[in-house]
């Protein structure tokens, strides 16, 4: 399922050190037992204060040692999956950790640095910035009725006016479901080459039609792409997320990261999850989800309380309408929990595309309100899946 092809390293641009927060440019980070050894042959390891015998619950001693911070087999598997080279990969505890690393690496707290984001969007960019003492500049997306559009020119202007050093885009967007055109991402990265890092969060990329922005990394050293095993790969509980970026930035991010970010069992699980056969099952899940997304859109659109079901390239649908309050109450009474989005948009909710049985339950809960006359093919009512 590689959705990008690694291009030869010869074409790779130079990463500008000025994009790193000034006081961290010569920061070397914590020198851990796993990273500080010189590599000469050794058989006895007495440098990390680990136990000398195995735990009673781990008789083979598989967990006795501190883990490799960035295990080579995992980095190779992630690089192959995402179509980049291993030195471009930073693996973290979910892409949430990668977001936090980026905010802390690219912006200095309490000074002139800021981040720019495009609401309605994923909440963690603002949370990380807030916890780090960095202001958030909002450049709202445009609501086109059945689609959302990022104001790329507005974001560029905000960076230039507000001294932002990091821009967060989400494609497909959460909660919008809309993809940001690659031409726009490329233009923004090129325009901001000396000023800011452009982060493209692709948590839902597997469900989308257009190719990954990872294909632009070699041409744009100030671009970062976030991927995760939490959504299409079905491993949210394992907490495995990835930042794909220029190797020089990857080196700095690893220094900022906690010393042993990947627990041994999680790293092993992730390698197994990226095997060819498991990836084929992910492809099957994605296909099923895309088909079900169309059906769920039909069901929701047929409800008179709904005015918009937005086109989605992700595994959820954003729904708006004056009757969203009653919709939420009705679904909840049937034991169905969807995401209330009224804190972001006055009359919105977000529904994950569940299994066919779960979609059936949604339809039953909405009862006669939602009875599309024909379910396939998708009708032209602004529903693009």
Binding site for ligand PLP (CB under 6 A): 94-96, 122, 170, 174, 201, 203, 228, 230, 236, 241
Compute the least distance from the CB of residue 91 to ligand PLP, in Å: 11
Instruction: For ligand PLP, give the closer residue by CB, 92 or 221.
Output: 92
Instruction: For ligand PLP, give the closer residue by CB, 122 or 207.
Output: 122
Q: Which residues fall within 8 angstroms of residue 231, CB to CB, at 6 or more apart? A: 203, 204, 206, 207, 315
Contact 188, 156 (CB under 8 A): yes
Q: Percentages helix, strand, coil for the chain, rounded to the nearest 5? A: 40, 15, 50
Instruction: For ligand PLP, give the closer residue by CB, 118 or 370.
Output: 118
Compute the least distance from the CB of residue 195 to ligand PLP, in Å: 24
DSSP H or E run through 117: strand 114-117
Instruction: For ligand PLP, give the closer residue by CB, 96 or 206.
Output: 96
Instruction: For ligand PLP, give the closer residue by CB, 199 or 366.
Output: 199
Compute the least distance from the CB of residue 122 to ligand PLP, in Å: 4
Compute the least distance from the CB of residue 312 to ligand PLP, in Å: 13
CA separation for the pair 125, 51 (Å, rounded)? 39
Compute the least distance from the CB of residue 371 to ligand PLP, in Å: 31
- Where does residue 24 rank: exposed (0-12), middle (13-18), buried (19+ CB within 10 A)? middle
Instruction: For ligand PLP, give the closer residue by CB, 236 or 284.
Output: 236
- Where does residue 330 rank: exposed (0-12), middle (13-18), buried (19+ CB within 10 A)? middle
Tokens 């000025």 identify what position?
Answer: 18
CA separation for the pair 184, 343 (Å, rounded)? 28
Q: Which residues fall within 8 angstroms of residue 380, CB to CB, at 6 or more apart? A: none
Instruction: For ligand PLP, give the closer residue by CB, 170 or 301.
Output: 170
Compute the least distance from the CB of residue 204 to ligand PLP, in Å: 7
* Token pair for 42: 């050794």
**Alpha helices in 83-231, H assignment, sequence order:** 94-106, 124-131, 152-162, 182-191
Which residue's Cβ lies closest to ligand PLP? 94
* Token pair for 150: 């990022």
Compute the least distance from the CB of residue 98 to ligand PLP, in Å: 8
Collapsing DSSP to helix, strand or coil, 369 comes out as helix
Instruction: For ligand PLP, give the closer residue by CB, 39 or 237.
Output: 237
Compute the least distance from the CB of residue 203 to ligand PLP, in Å: 4
């Amino acid at each position: 399922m590689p959705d990008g092809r690694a291009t030869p390293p010869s074409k790779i641009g130079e990463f500008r050190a000025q994009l790193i927060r000034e006081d961290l440019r010569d920061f070397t980070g914590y020198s851990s037992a796993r990273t500080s050894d010189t590599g000469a042959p050794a058989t006895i390891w007495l440098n990390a204060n680990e136990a000398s015998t195995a735990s009673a619950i781990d008789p083979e001693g598989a967990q006795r040692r501190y883990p490799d911070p960035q295990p080579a087999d995992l980095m190779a598997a992630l690089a192959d999956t995402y179509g980049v080279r291993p030195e471009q990969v930073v693996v973290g505890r979910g892409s949430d950790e990668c977001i936090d690393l980026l905010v802390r690496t690219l912006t200095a707290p309490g000074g002139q640095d800021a981040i720019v984001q495009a609401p309605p969007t994923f909440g963690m960019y603002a949370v990380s910035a807030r916890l780090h003492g960095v202001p958030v500049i909002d450049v709202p997306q445009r609501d086109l009725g059945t689609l959302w559009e990022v104001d790329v020119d507005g974001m560029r202007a905000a960076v230039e006016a507000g001294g932002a050093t990091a821009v967060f885009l989400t494609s497909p967007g959460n909660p919008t479901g809309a993809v940001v055109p690659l031409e726009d991402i490329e233009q923004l990265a090129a325009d901001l080459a000396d000023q800011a890092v452009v982060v493209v969060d692709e948590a839902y990329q597997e469900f989308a039609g257009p190719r990954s922005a990872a294909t632009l990394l070699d041409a744009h050293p100030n671009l970062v792409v976030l991927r995760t095993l939490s959504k299409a790969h079905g491993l949210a509980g394992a907490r495995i997320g990835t930042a794909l970026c220029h190797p020089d930035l990857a080196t700095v991010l690893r220094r900022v990261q906690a010393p042993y970010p990947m627990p041994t069992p999680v790293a092993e699980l992730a390698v197994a999850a990226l095997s060819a056969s498991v990836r084929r099952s992910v492809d099957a899940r994605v296909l099923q989800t895309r088909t079900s997304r169309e059906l769920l859109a039909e069901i929701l659109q047929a409800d008179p309380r709904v005015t918009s079901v937005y086109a989605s390239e992700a595994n959820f649908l954003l729904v708006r309408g004056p009757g969203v309050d009653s919709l939420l109450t009705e679904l909840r009474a049937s034991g169905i929990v969807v995401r209330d989005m009224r804190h972001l948009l006055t009359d919105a909710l977000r529904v994950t595309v569940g299994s066919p049985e779960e979609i059936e339950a949604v339809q039953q809960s909405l009862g006669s309100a939602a009875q599309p006359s024909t379910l396939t093919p998708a009708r032209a009512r602004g529903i693009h899946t």
